[in-house]
Structure 1
Amino acid sequence: MATISEKPKLVTVFGGSGFIGRYVVQALAKRGYRVRVACRNPHTAIHLMPLGNVGQVHAMQANLRKRWSIDRAVEGADHVINLVGILHESGRQTFSSVQAEGARAVAEAAKAAGARITHMSAIGADADSPAEYGRTKAAGERAVLEVDKKAVILRPSIVFGPEDGFFNRFANMARFSPFLPLIGGGHTRFQPVYVGDVAEAFVRSVDGQLKPGAIYELGGPQVLTFRDCMEEMLEVINRKRVLVSIPWSLARVQGRVLGILPKPPLTLDQVKLLESDNIVSDEARKKGLTLEGLGIPQHSVGAILPTYLWSYRPQGQFTQPQY
């Protein structure tokens, strides 16, 4: 009979049921960690259970607006990962309550429990950002580091992968629409990063391989404009669509109008975010606070998109893309 001499460490992952969360949970399970997925609706995390051995991954209810639930979720944890963030506000789920106040609450609970913390922010986090998303992301970073100076902050650029909300969204739009919008002319630069590479960075943080108190910026191997991303996506799904430039002034009007919908496809805050490039800074590269600096191989958009966007081709998997 095998004897377990040491109990595996416990990692609490807030927001583990989301897009990035599922890959972080899977990577942690592969490393042998016990994983507690803390989310508002535990039933949305059922799909994570098979990612580990029996009992290795379990879910529990927690809400960043309710401190008692956060304390309960981190009880007994050795490390805490906070992935919670929103792209638009809805009811009591405001940028401030989730990305600033919520981040502080998680950091305080983790410190009280004696656990280390890794916090996900975003490239574009800036106290002077014209977008509230960027300002509250920056406020969340400050709050976490004020509570725990040894906390690790990870700032990914736009994240892509099978369940992403970027390439999938526009690929689906291309199935029905003869044109695709290029907000601001499509000149905004991104550094798309593969979700699996982001997950590896989080797990290495749990392993203790990242510098305490450092802010890492995670980007892929290519810097692409919005137009480049659309052209790459259209090539993969083997469709030709007209790319229509939308002036910033018109985009802001659209953002105001569409922003009142329950699940807005575009908001004014998102338009403001798009007015700035979303790429890894020279400072982060010089300090080695990047995926490359961590020695994590970066997967390109061209290598990954065909593995999951094939479903948007005219004949699905039977369509031969014209590269």
Structure 2
Amino acid sequence: MSYRTQVITVFGGSGFIGRHLIRRLAKSGAVVRIATRNPTKAGFLKTAGAVGQIVPFATDVTKDESVARALQGADIAINLIGVLYEQGRQSFQGAHVESAARIARIASLNGVTRLVHVSALGADASSPASYARSKAAGEQAVLDAFPQATILRPSIVFGPEDQFFNKFAAMAQIAPALPLIGGGKTRFQPVYVGDLADAIVASLDLDSAKGRTFELGGPRVYSFKELLQLTLKTVQRKRYLLPVPWGAAETLGGVLEKVPVLAPALTRDQVELLKRDNVVSPGAAGFKELGIDTLASCEVIVPTYLARFIVGGRNPTVPGNAH
């Protein structure tokens, strides 16, 4: 990949996925604009490229004129904007549908040649979960405005700043048990953030990726219980895995989502999401069709960043266990 004369605008580029993607895009030689609400927080990414190559760009995705400025002169646009829960003025409709539609519409008007929209595995207009319905609506809005857009649907994404393994590892430090919501049978296909970033970059080089949707899952399918067991083994903690029936989980989510904290531990909508497996559909285009054959596994990557949760540092003589 070499885009030395081009400009790439990445919406939401200062987040978890963005910081890994920006480093890869910088290697292409392109000028990379990080369109974000708070450009100061994206300043650390400037060192990923040459002087002046990585440009944090103050952008309000709720306003046409702000999005237009971020896309002025851009050749490629990548949308990473997404939220895991609704809180205050942060809504699924605003983040996943309205902002996505605005970016796609203005990208088309401004002559952007490629648009990559990162959605989520499980996006479904008929889902009982608002999150999944909004992701599906966002995809449709993007394709309506920019038919040649590439849609990427990753399963849960793991890596150093993830909100899955880190959350449960932190919970294991203080809680005597971890919740097995719905019995822990829901299946996931976690994808490493670095592999997702590689997929985004690879899609830019393939004409065959235009107008297509790719489902991205890692090399192995796990049950929710297996993921919690892996977490406990990694942080060397013995914690009981407590089965929580769906009804009790919905009640708990209803309580926790109202607690005035930065990120709720659980919401009712997340409980609805957990009722469906989050794995790649049979026959769906995925990493292979993007030219990526080797994928990182949880067993290899997760220990590299959860070690900080181990009391006294790494100690291979003290095994973790889950019941």
| TM bracket (short chain) | over 0.9
2:289 maps to 293
Alpha-carbon distance in 2 for matches of 1:294, 1:312 = 35
Matches within 5 A, 1:45-64: 45-64=42-61
User: 1:257 and 1:31, CA in 2 relative to 1: closer, same or farther beyond 3 A?
Assistant: same
1:90 corresponds to 2:81: no
1:163 corresponds to 2:175: no
Among 229, 232, 235, the alignment partner of 1:234 is 232
2:211 maps to 213
Alpha-carbon distance in 2 for matches of 1:276, 1:92 = 27
1:292–1:298 CA contact under 8 A, matched in 2: no
User: 1:209 and 1:228, CA in 2 relative to 1: closer, same or farther beyond 3 A?
Assistant: farther
1:23 maps to 20
C-alpha distance after superposition, 1:108-155 (max 9, x if no partner):
111111112100100010000101111110000001111111100000
2:265 maps to 265
1:117–1:152 CA contact under 8 A, matched in 2: yes
Alpha-carbon distance in 2 for matches of 1:321, 1:301 = 20
2:220 maps to 222
Deviation of 1:283 after TM superposition, in Å, equals 2.8
C-alpha distance after superposition, 1:28-65 (max 9, x if no partner):
01222211000111111112111111111011111221
SS in 1 for 2:178: strand
- Alignment-mate amino acid for residue 306 of structure 1: P
Matches within 5 A, 1:34-49: 34-49=31-46
1:278 maps to 278
Alpha-carbon distance in 2 for matches of 1:190, 1:306 = 19
2:305 maps to 308
Matches within 5 A, 1:6-155: 7-115=4-112, 116-155=114-153
Structure 1 window deviating more from structure 2 (124-133 vs 86-95): it is 86-95
SS in 2 for 1:233: helix
User: 1:82 and 1:321, CA in 2 relative to 1: closer, same or farther beyond 3 A?
Assistant: farther
Deviation of 1:206 after TM superposition, in Å, equals 2.3
User: 1:28 and 1:320, CA in 2 relative to 1: closer, same or farther beyond 3 A?
Assistant: farther
SS in 2 for 1:308: helix
1:204–1:210 CA contact under 8 A, matched in 2: no
2:4–2:30 CA contact under 8 A, matched in 1: no
User: 1:12 and 1:198, CA in 2 relative to 1: closer, same or farther beyond 3 A?
Assistant: same
SS in 1 for 2:314: helix
- Alignment-mate amino acid for residue 8 of structure 1: T
User: 1:209 and 1:310, CA in 2 relative to 1: closer, same or farther beyond 3 A?
Assistant: farther
C-alpha distance after superposition, 1:283-304 (max 9, x if no partner):
30xxxx1113323211000010
SS in 2 for 1:12: strand
C-alpha distance after superposition, 1:79-135 (max 9, x if no partner):
000000111112222111110111100001111111121001000100001011111
2:219–2:296 CA contact under 8 A, matched in 1: yes
User: 1:283 and 1:165, CA in 2 relative to 1: closer, same or farther beyond 3 A?
Assistant: same
Alpha-carbon distance in 2 for matches of 1:64, 1:72 = 11
Deviation of 1:172 after TM superposition, in Å, equals 1.1
C-alpha distance after superposition, 1:159-208 (max 9, x if no partner):
00011010011011111222111111111100000000000011112233
Task: Give the fraction of aligned pairs with identical amino acids, expressed as a percent.
Answer: 50
Q: TM-score w.r.t. structure 2 length?
A: 0.94
Among 251, 254, 275, the alignment partner of 2:252 is 254
Q: TM-score w.r.t. structure 1 length?
A: 0.94
2:13–2:34 CA contact under 8 A, matched in 1: yes
User: 1:7 and 1:230, CA in 2 relative to 1: closer, same or farther beyond 3 A?
Assistant: closer
Deviation of 1:320 after TM superposition, in Å, equals 5.0
2:202–2:291 CA contact under 8 A, matched in 1: no
Report the aligned-residue RMSD. Answer: 1.5
Alpha-carbon distance in 2 for matches of 1:62, 1:181 = 39
1:152–1:210 CA contact under 8 A, matched in 2: no
SS in 2 for 1:241: strand
Give the gaps of 5 or more residues in structure 2.
Answer: none
How many residues matched?
Answer: 314
